[in-house]
Amino acid sequence: MSNLLHTTTDIRQNLAALQALGWSLIPLNGGLMRGAEKAPALRSWAVYMRRQPTPAEYDQWLNHDYFSAYGVVLGRASGVVVVDIDSDEIGDAFRDAFPDLLDTFTVRSGNRGLPHYYYAIGDLTVRGQQTLGIELRGDGQYVVAPNTRINGKVWAVVNGAPPKKLTEADLSRISRFISTIRRKTPENAGNRATAPDSAPVDLTPDLLNRDSVSLGDLRRLYQHLAPRIGRNNALFTCARYGRDVGYGEFQVCDALTPDHVAQPPNGDHPPEAATRRHAEAERTIRSAFSQAPRPRPAKPRTEPEQLPNSARESLLARGWSNVARMLDGLLLLGVEAGRLLNAPEVYRLLAPHGVGRNAIYAAVRLLKSLPPRTPPSKYANAVKRYADETKQCLFGRVAEPVKNRRGRPHLCFVMPSITALCDALGVPLRGADTIAPDDLRTPAAYRAALHTALIRRAPGQYARHWQARRLNVSPTTCRRYERACGVMATPCYHETPLSQRGVNAALSDTPIWGQFLLTEKGKRYPPRREIARRELRAGRRVSLLSQQPNHYRIADQPAAMPPAPIPATPHPPQSLFHHIAAPPVNSAPTPSVARDQNAPAPALDGAWRGGVIPPRTFRPSTPQPAPEAAPQSANDGMAERLYSALRALDPAHAVTRRTAQKWVEKYGGRLVDWGVRSLQKSVDGGRSIRNPAGYLAVWLRAHAKYRDK
């Protein structure tokens, strides 16, 4: 190690010394890419986690003069790990706790001037572990190589001793030390200069204990971690967790990239362009998904105190709102599973809460119609003799059976457990939104309470038809619930700036529902190409706005601002009907941790007009196969010829493809073909026709009337 005690300016000499140690090296961007100096200069470096670069690869990198910085791939590829200290206080605590581990190869960081302790691991497998101020870097990670110079800053060697070999006991001690720092972090996070004035609730323990995690939870986790551990570390942590819970790379990228682009840096960091931040986010998320998901530990199924949301939605979808109200009311009263109940007894319990007698009797009948968990076998049981059950041999006098009392027998049922109910309905056991006893008085009040509870727990964008299907009501009924419960709906639009070259690609021949043109003065126009070109020729800025699902929140909640917009391609028309921000019905986040209502909302970006919230682009997690093109019929070909002929004669008075198709369907292909040839013959003969489309419409109407006669 003596040759690494002093900084050398010769890159080849430095790399030769590091290769002699058996370390795997990769090139970094260095000072060539501002804001991504320490990012790998390779498209993918995952192969070097398993092997070291060959001499030919090193020569190829060295022949490119712009490769001026290198990183050490950690873990089993190089046989070393690094303890990265990012805080003076944590560094002092580490030195006090591990005086026997300080005599090892040490590098002073070029940015903060804090130490990087290198340790040999042999055949051990070490996973990365980090918290505020300290990070243990292992498999799947890298660190800036010693004696590397980036923008005038040098990662200098301060201790050239060989890397000290760690044992499993040493790794356990370091892991416990980092865990101790993590437990102390939430108490002291508010004292840091980079922490917000009102820190949000720590969502990490809650997410680890949930059965389902939504994309909104990942966004809130990123916003919570970014001020504490840095933007890139928070993005990698959230992307890796999203990968582990089952989300695809595209879904995580769409959810977290806008937040990463808009997140301000923690310290003194030069400003970066949005496109560069976007590319950096994609590289970080791609790196997180380059490894296989980690298995999540199995958790015991615990029953909530109220009816789960999945069971409620299944009952409402069947039209059994009375069953859901009755079971929720019994659970609120503390009725235990397995208790035998009859309809009059249930009515005496729930009548004070407004549940009527007819509703209870109807609910009991429906509940008894549910299939049992183990249906009886339709085959004969050889163990029991049929004669034992059907024949009796009685000797002597036997008392006559007691006659039943007059009146109908009571409707009885056994209070089902939540697990048995979910199994009978075929839904998973999920969390439950809390409702009050007063919400049971009517089916409408019950549905309104469930609708409001979801928005209060997870405000965001929800498709109106998704909300209606969840409650088995109409969209108009959902609006009535929102007006009564104080739910605020904010319209959301996706804005696409237009240019002369992009008008044809952005606008279709037929206007699409939910789209309109918006000028810089706030005027709205139909989404037609000629109008967009006219406004652009006049020197006005024109944007195409596409309506997206509304953003919903409760009136007494602080308004949450989505991330700042980034340049994006227009949405396909079918994306307007997708539910973008809300999770599936059965995977909505559980309300086990209350939302912090005092967290400050970010300021509204001036580039966006009031009430316009930029949504994220929806992309499926797996590529969808392209639909097979339907065979073109003769009418379709005739409609295309009609559309092309009228547009060639006079583009200003042409018809759309939809209108051309309607004409062919109404008058027939032969008559339309005759009319087009007649119109073309008249124009070629020198006849002046000011509106060819109008002339052809009158011609077709007259000849069709004569043909019908």
Reported as a single tens digit per residue, the pLDDT across 23-80 is: 989 888 776 666 667 888 887 788 888 888 888 888 888 776 556 788 999 988 899 9
Percent of the chain whose pLDDT exceeds 90: 17
User: What contacts 199, CB < 8 A, 6 or more positions away?
Assistant: 186, 189, 190, 224, 599
Instruction: Write out the DSSP string of 391-425.
Output: -----S--PPPPPPPSSPPPPEEE---HHHHHHHH
Q: Measure the CA–CA gap between 688 and 700, rounded to whole angstroms.
A: 19
| Model pLDDT, residue 197 | 30
Q: Which of 178-182, 375-379, 506-510 has the highest mean pLDDT?
A: 506-510
Look at residue 474 and tell me whether its pLDDT is greater than 90. yes
pLDDT band at 412 (very low <50, low <70, confident <90, very high): confident
Q: What are 521's two structure tokens?
A: 């003065």
For residue 543, what pLDDT is reported?
A: 92
Residues 343, 357: Cα–Cα separation, whole Å: 8
Residue 51 DSSP symbol:
S
- The H or E element that residue 480 is part of is helix 475-485
Residue 259: which pLDDT band, with cuts at 50, 70 and 90? confident
> For 700, phi and psi rounded to 5 degrees?
-65, -40
Is the pLDDT at 566 greater than 70? The verdict is no
Q: Which pLDDT score is estimated for 633? A: 63
Contact present, 197 and 213 (Cβ < 8 Å): no
Mean pLDDT over residues 86-92, rounded?
86
Question: What is the CB neighbour count within 10 angstroms for residue 177?
Answer: 20
**Per-residue model confidence (pLDDT) at position 457:** 87
Average pLDDT over the chain, rounded to an integer: 77
HEC readout, 656-705: CHHHHHHHHHHHCHHHHHHHHHHHHHHHHCCCCCCCHHHHHHHHHHHHHH
| Interacting residues of 486 by C-beta distance below 8 A, sequence separation 6+ | 554, 555, 556
Tokens of 245: 């819970």
pLDDT at site 34: 64
CA distance 199 to 596: 9
Of 560, 706, 514, nearest to 219 by C-alpha is 560
pLDDT band for position 477 (50/70/90)? very high
Cα(91)–Cα(327) distance, rounded to whole angstroms?
Answer: 57
Question: Distance (Å, rounded) from C-alpha 107 to C-alpha 157?
Answer: 4
pLDDT at 16 over 90: no
pTM over 0.85: no
Report whether pLDDT(703) > 50.
Answer: yes
CA distance 214 to 218: 7
- Burial class for 641, CB neighbours closer than 10 Å (0-12, 13-18, 19+): middle
- Indicate if the pLDDT at residue 508 is higher than 50: yes
pLDDT confidence band for 9 (50 / 70 / 90): low
Q: What residues does 143 pair with on adjacent strands?
A: 72
